[in-house]
Amino acid sequence: MTSMSRARAARRIAAGAAYGGGGIGLAGAATVGLLVAEMQLARRRVGNGPPVRVPNADGVYGGSPACGESPLRLTMLGDSTAAGQGVYRAGQTPGALLASGLSAVAERPVVLRSVAVTGARSDDLERQVSQVLADTGGLPDVCVIMVGANDVTNRMPATRSVRFLSTAVRRLRTAGAEVVVGTCPDLGTIEPVRQPLRWLARRASRQLAAAQTIGAVQQGGRTVSLGDLLGPEFAANPRELFGPDNYHPSAEGYATAAMAVLPTVCAALGLWPAEEERPDTSRREGFLPVARAAAEAASEAGTEVAAAMPSGPRGPWALLKRRRRRRMPETEPAPSGGPS
């Protein structure tokens, strides 16, 4: 699927999500039987490793709030990739890596809370957001949402998926939190998945990621495409970058993803140098219609999309950024009061 056709498909899905349509699926009807059969085979081959407890990474990173600066609050929402399934230590989860990195950039403590749930689809975001907004400990400064993979594997219509995500972003933004969405990863990179499911999974993943970008940006959030971010690394060394279940990332895989998301989290909070907020034409950054920006981001992992202008020649426009990844702190402080 070309960038332009992906942009058209993403626009249709986002419009269906906004206006109540629900019949646009993530795969054509003619391929559903094949997709289901291949997915059942893949599921027998994926996830056969030992069961892994998701570490509890909630806590304070980067020092004590008593040091004078009030802590920043970071909340993770979404599915198992947001929770950190596949690693054994709290400090290896994406939330802990982001909290440690954010603390280092902001030079102040970061309170991390995760409400992400293994196996969650986008329709669970309503419950997760309500949980966040009801927290008596205070509203988050920034929320990171990683969701979409289970929508693809469970064949949730893309319009419904995007509608749930858009509503979640709107509620969090209305409450005053910045929102960064890590869009649907490329399920075609999962090693045990064979053709033709690999091609179908990649197509459905990118289609959903582009539509998620439109929905999130229109509600005031920013997105970072996870896509095939780890594709080259998986191909070269899959045993290192996949966890023991051959499905979820390992510690090295989560660190790679966190390095891509951290700059956008910092930019959302106004912590990135002002000169880096201007588009760099040498890096093919610039202002584009939001659907085209979404399609380009879905094709290139690690790309950020943020709202720029509410209207333009072809509707809303967005800023597409290819931010330089920053290496995560070599040692992540253990969360206070929680396991490491």
Distance in Å from the first CA to the final CA of the chain: 44
Intervals of the chain under pLDDT 70: 1-52, 63-68, 188-199, 228-249, 275, 310-315, 326-340
Domains of the chain as residue ranges with CATH: 3-321 (3.40.50.1110)
Residue-level pLDDT at 40? 52
Residue-level pLDDT at 137? 80
| β-bridge pairing 317-321 and 304-309 | antiparallel
- Residue from 7, 88, 96 nearest 53 by CA: 88
Residues involved in catalysis: 80, 245, 248
Which residues are registered as beta bridge partners of 250? Answer: none
Report in angstroms the alpha-carbon separations of 171 from 117, 143, 266: 19, 11, 21
- Residue from 55, 51, 48 nearest 88 by CA: 55
Q: What is the DSSP string of 14-57?
A: HHHHHHT-----SS-HHHHHHHHHHHHHHHHHSS-S---PPP--
Which helix (H) or strand (E) is 74 found in, with range? strand 72-78
**Numbers of helices and strands, H then E, in the chain:** 12, 9
Copy the structure tokens of residue 280. Answer: 């760099």
Q: Is the pTM value of this prediction over 0.75?
A: yes
Residue-level pLDDT at 214? 93
Return the sign of the alpha-carbon dihedral for residues 316, 322, 323, 329. Answer: positive
- Residue from 244, 242, 225 nearest 233 by CA: 242
Q: Please, are residues 227 and 301 in contact by the beta-carbon 8 Å criterion?
A: yes
Copy the structure tokens of residue 136. Answer: 């008596």
